[in-house]
Amino acid sequence: MTPEEILAAVAEEVKNCTKCPLHLARRKAVPGEGPANAKIMFIGEAPGFHENVQGRPFVGAAGEFLDELLAKAGLKRSEIFITNVVKCRPPGNRDPEPQELAACEPYLDRQIRAIRPKIIVTLGRFSLAKFVPNPKISQMHGKPIRLRGQLIVPMYHPAAALHQPSLRKIVEADFARLPEIIAQAETIEETELAPEPQEGSSKPKPKQLSLF
Ligand code: URA
Ligand code: SF4
């Protein structure tokens, strides 16, 4: 299957998925969207109110703020792939439960394997926790981590930063440095891009880069 076909297949499965209780209250599942050849992937937490209605990621207030942040980084929505660790809205926007994250993870893994992005920007701690156990976002934000030839760039979640002026300044500064990080990622050899490990295999230890 081509990467496009894999993404389409994942989206179709997600729309009909009943693997965790979040399917019970959802209106529309939100598989994610963007080109299969995107160099950068953004991974958020879970659909909120508007995403659940429209079936698209980051279309509410947090999405508007994300668009502003992307503009600061010189990026267009149309060139990035954007999704969430959990594809259905948790009722009342509560945090996703560990078993919901686990049930949904294979979809995200298949998306990452199909796209093979050079850079993965994690939005918020649930997304970062997929790559780094028990992450401290206050210490890790804005600093790329090299993992299997990919750069993981931890960012604060735009929804958290939106109404907190101190966080907002930080996340704006972090996004402003993305072009520099993207240029750095361009130097990662294509051959270094190893596929994601299969489920159940041990994850390699991530290294936080000191360069930045
Ligand atoms: N917040 C997220 O984490 N994801 C969305 O898609 C929307 C808001
Ligand atoms: Fe399936 Fe993920 Fe939705 Fe749960 S959140 S029902 S695992 S698509």
The answer as to whether 202 is a domain residue is no
The amino acid at residue 80 is: I
Q: What is the pLDDT of residues 182-207, one digit of tens each?
A: 998 888 765 555 554 555 444 555 55
Which ligand 2 atom sits closest to the C-alpha of 31? 8
The answer as to whether 191 is a domain residue is no
Can you give the pLDDT at residue 184? Answer: 86
Look at the chain and report how many structural domains it folds into. Answer: 1
Cα separation, 144 vs 132, in Å, equals 12
Provide the H-helix boundaries in the chain.
Answer: 3-15, 49-54, 61-72, 98-115, 125-128, 137-140, 158-162, 165-176, 178-185
Q: Work out whether the CA dihedral 151, 155, 158, 160 comes out positive or negative.
A: positive
Average of per-residue pLDDT values in the chain: 91
Helix (H, G, I), strand (E, B) or coil at 197: coil
Which ligand 1 atom sits closest to the C-alpha of 62? 8
The answer as to whether 66 is a domain residue is yes
The answer as to whether 211 is a domain residue is no
131: phi > 0 → left, psi -120 to 50 → alpha, else beta; which?
Answer: alpha
Q: What is the pLDDT of residues 136-173, one digit of tens each?
A: 999 999 999 999 889 999 999 999 999 899 999 999 99
Show the domain range for 104.
Answer: 3-184
Distance of CA 22 to the CA centre of its chain: 19
Tokens 């649930």 correspond to 126
47 lines ligand 1 (CB under 6 A): yes
Residue 90 CA: which ligand is closest? 2
> To the nearest 10°, the Cα dihedral for 158, 147, 143, 180?
-90
Compute, in angstroms, the gap from residue 22 CA to the centroid of ligand 2: 6
Q: Is the pLDDT at 21 greater than 70, yes or no?
A: yes
CATH number assigned to the domain comprising residue 95: 3.40.470.10
The answer as to whether 197 is a domain residue is no
Q: What is the pLDDT of residues 39-61, one digit of tens each?
A: 999 999 999 999 999 999 999 99
Q: What is the pLDDT of residues 105-133, one digit of tens each?
A: 999 999 999 999 999 999 999 999 999 99
Can you give the pLDDT at residue 148? Answer: 86
The answer as to whether 201 is a domain residue is no
Tokens representing residue 41 in the block: 């992937």
Cα separation, 166 vs 111, in Å, equals 33
